[in-house]
Structure 1
Amino acid sequence: MGMFPGVPSFHAIAAMAITVVMFVAFARGRMSVEIISLLTIAVIAVGLYFFPLEGTGPTDGLQLAFSGFGHYALITICALMIMGRGLVVTGALEPAARFLERVFKLNLQLGLLVSLLLAFGLSMGVNDTPVLVLLLPIFVSLAARGAMPASKTLIPLNAAVLIGGMATTIGTSTNILVVSIARDLGMPPMGVFHYTPIVLTASLIALPYLWLVMPRLLRDNTVAEAYAPRRFQTRLRVGDDSALNGQVLAAILPRLPADIAFHDAPQGPIQSQQQLTISGTHEALEDAMRTLKGEVAPAWVIDRIRRRSSESGADIAVVEMTVTADSRLLNRTLPTSGIADLYGVAVLGIHRPDRIVGEKDRYSEGGDLRIAEGDVLLVMGIGEDLNDFARADSLLTLEGMRELPRRSKAVLAGGIMLGSVGLASIGLLPIAVSALAGAILMFVTGCVKFDRVGRALSAKVIVLVAASIAVGRIVLESGAAGWLGEALASGLQFLPPALVLATIMLFVTFLTNFASNATAATVGTPIAFSIAQQLSLPPEPLILAVLFGCNLCYATPIAYQTNMLIMAEGNYEFKDYIRTGVPLVLLMVATLSILLVTTYGM
């Protein structure tokens, strides 16, 4: 086999043309991903109806074009997204966020290293996107609280998530796709940790680059906030088991969030049930209540809200509402307003916009703030109670409802996730089955609500994966993959195995950075398989070269959905990805090619 392959068939040329057009459309970004994906599926379906593949009927093409929607790779991805949503809404990952904040307070460099290792470890078991979705708000808020600027941490963090996601077959949706295509081609199935040692070894070289070099290549893009978050004034009642009991205030202050302020701070030790006037943002107040085990609303109301929530299955939400000119609440104080008795909601604090107010009018004799027009109330309760309160007392709802995590289910959600990933990792169940079982358990136990599934599932990812599977099948069944494989192999036959692997990995990396990695996986896997047969090399390392190449998507923002997620938060430009990503790609290609050659003794 020394010669270049002959002319490809008509179907093969058409399949390659469709793939190229899809790539270009994604790279230009003029049309949405969903539209391009659906158009691709439609073109394949219509094309194969009028020009069927050899030995197939006109309607077989429809089956091929739409087969992606029922493919087990897609079903697995959807189930993992639902389970990721369960971890978010139950607050199962909040302890990790609080731990990180403490580490960053000790030392910024240490904080970044711990964060990178945590991101790397988490994404080995949980799909990349939920991990980044979890960590993103943590890092944006850490940056706001004076840790490293978000623009210096998010690209390294994203890269750590992507490298970790590469380490197991369930780490990313692309890995599931490559492994399932390889299985369709007749390769033996791979276990969850089949090639983990190779990636762990490579990460020893990559992580120092992420930790020490990448942040230096990135600018500080912090934009001064146009508006400061609202600060709410409230009275904190010291609980019986509070950390404040018997302490002087100064001893406790270092443990509290920086933006909590105490007004008319008491002299001497603090007693149980004492009331302290404090102010801070909503997050800071929540942190303070958790740290000090105190309440900012009467305990009986909070208990009543929690009881109603568990009885009715409705979520507890926190909303900001502003007081209008014809509200019944004007000039009343919270204790005299009767809000809790009438509506069963709790007012956690009051924000007063800066304006001139006669100090004497502002407070009642008891020292409580009188409610005035334009004040913003921070109200907690169940959705329908909040709506009743806003309607009856003429309040305007400002911020969209922020649902409080269903913390009572946090351990359960974590357990379900661990169980379903665990069963797949020891090979007891296929990942598609264990992920589906986990998703069903998340519903049955109430960790995820049926009416909220839409938020967990990304339509973009679903149609993109379905289109990628259809393109992969047409490239394979039209003979285009075989022809490309011959073309690539004719150039590769004179190269040593390490360079063959590096070339395949770079070819797929180029595809993945300018189109979707799912498409790179579906095009690259069959090509690698046929190259292995033509050069009589073992197919597994070549398939792994494709799998690794699909994950080396650091060099452009369109390469992977998490790259897009951080773009706005870090205020990044296209060139930031190229500057930090290209060296990382080259580093990883060199390291992984050498490791594959030595592991498989090629």
Structure 2
Amino acid sequence: MQAFLSDHAAVISLCILAAMFAGFFMERLPPAAIAMIGAAAFILIGFLDEPGALSAFSNSAPITIGAMFILAAALKRTGVLDALAASVLQEADRSTVGALLLLGVTVSIGSAFVNNTAVVVILLPIVMELAGRLKISEKKLLIPLSYVSIMAGTCTLIGTSTNLLVAGVAQDAGMEAFSIFEITPVGLVTFGTGLAVLLGLGWVLLPRAAAGSTAPTAPVRYLTDAVVPEESAVIGRLVTEVPELSKKGISVVSHSRGSRRFSGSDADELLKAGDRVTLRADLTELLTLVDSELFRIGISRRKTDAGPEERALATVAANDSNIGRRIAEISYLSHHAVTVRGLTRYGNPPGPDLANARLKAGDRLIVDGNRSELHELAASGALVVDQTFKAEPFRRKRGPLAIAILAAVILSSAILGIPLVMASLIGVGAVLAFGCLSLSDAFEAMDAGVLALIFAMLMVGQGLVASGGVDMLVSSMTPLLVSASPLWLVLMIYLLTSVLTELVTNAAVAVIMTPLVIVLGTELGIEPRALVIAVMFGASASFASPIGYQTNTIVHAAGNYRFSDFLKIGVPMNLIVGVTTSIAIYLFYLA
């Protein structure tokens, strides 16, 4: 048996790879699970020994990718990306063209220096709201959002995790490390060509809204009362002059003093101690206001006991005796030293303010208190209390620090020559040390599925090399490519990588193709670096299917697109961008 495995190692390893590709395409299991099963198969059969398996964990690419995820999360937690997105909506009130241009610039700059998947996730609701304001179908904007983020991500080494992964695998194979801006000239060609295709063909080939399509779901807003405490910094200002109340996720319902409610035209509208401002705010903005201490947010009747305060999401059960009572009168506040920070419900929003809103079954409350009080509240049975509920406020005061740290990481690597993995790890330590995000934020930002997929595919790549699978592929391809000109070789490698990426996950294709083209280039006497860059761009520039790249998958679900919607615009994009990118690679590296 051992002799059979040894004699046919290359064929068996390629069969395992083919089975993995079939699994990726069928999507019966998550990509990370398929990759881990494949890696286990290589280990079980004996094609991958312990040093080979552990070498995957010494690769700098997944470490750098995880670190960049954390740095992107710091920009999100400090509200930097949210502020950029909000400015797009403000511009929409003045100019349609201006709003679209600002959106394009925001997506482009953000995706070039922050992982483009994070940029699309943050901007997605903004784009959908913008489409509504401009009376444009969201189907006309969401695919371009994904495509522009993909193309901008190819302009720097850190714009996409695929770029980092290919660079890491190539460096492990003995190639000189890529700098952050080495691929920028080719990336600019890709970006400019793709943008021209979108502008020229997009309005014709992009789908219109389907009949009966539904509007996007409105974000969940919590009703709360914000009372002005003594010596607050907001005293003497108009409500409209308080920056913390003018954020995108906040709407002011009313401003009152005692029984007097201001209409907006009263002369005595300047905020005074004891004034109440009723708001509807999304959860992150609500918690940011709590932390700001500019207002007393919510309602409590007992002084909170000593001990660290925690937060829970409480849902009102159907048998709760408090149903029908005003929030200010509910028994939880008399029996427990907790604070109700906000209230939300499905359907009709509660009102007119938090104190006078009447409780209904299914209402959800944000409740703060120490751990023992929350335990007792949960034990009372009146509420379904989720103490595992996780929510964090923005840390806007640290926004400039987050930007400075990311800029320092980029510049130290690009100018001083510090390895990107080292610079990014130092950047992670800095954002944690300066409080730009919490440790739990950092762990959540490191997408475990993506990192597991990368580590497993690195093991598979090692197994293919050790078993002779890569050599067999190269030897089978060499007769077909030996007579090809360098330009045609680059173009064919780009198109092969692109087609595979449309069918299976781009990380898997990048890990398999990179060592393959390095060996192929060496065999044919062609600069392997050019072929590696072709793989880098071919694995990133995926336009013709919703499964080839993460951002396509995100907008596919949000926009309720059909598979054919991506084919109509994506196939021309793939062909035109692929040809021009391949020519650019040839001119910059091989001519």
Question: Which of 84, 99, 116 is equivalent to 2:104?
Answer: 116
Structure 2: which 5+ residue stretches go unaligned?
Answer: 1-5, 255-260
More displaced stretch, 488-497 vs 136-145: 136-145
* C-alpha separation in 2, matches of 1:450 and 1:118: 28
Number of the residue aligned with 1:166: 154
Give the 5 Å matches for 1:141-540.
141-143=129-131, 148-211=136-199, 213-214=201-202, 216=204, 217-220=206-209, 222-224=213-215, 232=223, 239-244=234-239, 265-273=263-271, 281-283=280-282, 297=296, 322=316, 331=325, 334=328, 343=337, 345=339, 347-348=341-342, 369=356, 371-374=358-361, 376=363, 379=366, 381=368, 384=371, 387=374, 391=378, 394-396=382-384, 402-540=391-529
More displaced stretch, 379-388 vs 170-179: 379-388
* Alignment pair present for 1:80 and 2:68: yes
Q: Are the structure 2 counterparts of residues 10 and 416 from structure 1 closer, same or farther at C-alpha, using a change threshold of 3 Å?
A: same
Q: Are the structure 2 counterparts of residues 234 and 509 from structure 1 closer, same or farther at C-alpha, using a change threshold of 3 Å?
A: same
Amino acid at match of 1:112: L
Deviation at 1:133, TM superposition (A): 2.6
TM-score after normalising by structure 1: 0.78
Q: Are the structure 2 counterparts of residues 138 and 386 from structure 1 closer, same or farther at C-alpha, using a change threshold of 3 Å?
A: farther
Amino acid at match of 1:40: G
Q: Are the structure 2 counterparts of residues 178 and 153 from structure 1 closer, same or farther at C-alpha, using a change threshold of 3 Å?
A: same
Q: Are the structure 2 counterparts of residues 36 and 46 from structure 1 closer, same or farther at C-alpha, using a change threshold of 3 Å?
A: same
Deviation at 1:509, TM superposition (A): 0.9
Number of the residue aligned with 1:55: none
1:559 is paired with a residue of what secondary structure? coil
* C-alpha separation in 1, matches of 2:352 and 2:536: 66
Question: Which of 520, 541, 548 is equivalent to 1:559?
Answer: 548
Preserved CA contact (<8 Å) 2:250 2:282: no
Deviation at 1:240, TM superposition (A): 3.2
* C-alpha separation in 2, matches of 1:375 and 1:17: 53
Number of the residue aligned with 1:56: none
Deviation at 1:137, TM superposition (A): 3.7
Deviation at 1:472, TM superposition (A): 1.9
* C-alpha separation in 1, matches of 2:175 and 2:357: 73
Number of the residue aligned with 1:249: none
Deviation at 1:220, TM superposition (A): 2.3
Deviation at 1:299, TM superposition (A): 10
More displaced stretch, 260-269 vs 513-522: 260-269
Amino acid at match of 2:35: S
Number of the residue aligned with 2:18: 20
* C-alpha separation in 1, matches of 2:364 and 2:317: 8
* C-alpha separation in 1, matches of 2:267 and 2:162: 59
Deviation at 1:546, TM superposition (A): 1.5
Deviation at 1:540, TM superposition (A): 2.2
Preserved CA contact (<8 Å) 2:336 2:377: no
Superimposed CA distance per residue, residues 51-95 of structure 1 (whole angstroms, 9 cap, x where no aligned partner):
x5xxxxxxx623323432342212222222223233323323221
Question: Which of 554, 557, 562 is equivalent to 1:573?
Answer: 562
Deviation at 1:474, TM superposition (A): 2.7
Amino acid at match of 1:345: T
User: What's the Cα RMSD here?
Assistant: 4.4
Amino acid at match of 1:62: E
Preserved CA contact (<8 Å) 1:505 1:546: yes
Amino acid at match of 2:401: L
Question: Which of 93, 108, 113 is equivalent to 2:81?
Answer: 93
Preserved CA contact (<8 Å) 1:501 1:542: yes
What is the number of equivalent residue pairs in this alignment?
A: 562
Q: Are the structure 2 counterparts of residues 163 and 256 from structure 1 closer, same or farther at C-alpha, using a change threshold of 3 Å?
A: closer
Deviation at 1:601, TM superposition (A): 5.0
Deviation at 1:553, TM superposition (A): 1.7
Number of the residue aligned with 1:3: none
Amino acid at match of 2:104: L
* C-alpha separation in 2, matches of 1:180 and 1:255: 40
More displaced stretch, 319-328 vs 151-160: 319-328
Amino acid at match of 2:534: A
TM-score after normalising by structure 2: 0.80
Q: Are the structure 2 counterparts of residues 582 and 9 from structure 1 closer, same or farther at C-alpha, using a change threshold of 3 Å?
A: farther
Q: State the identity as a percent.
A: 24
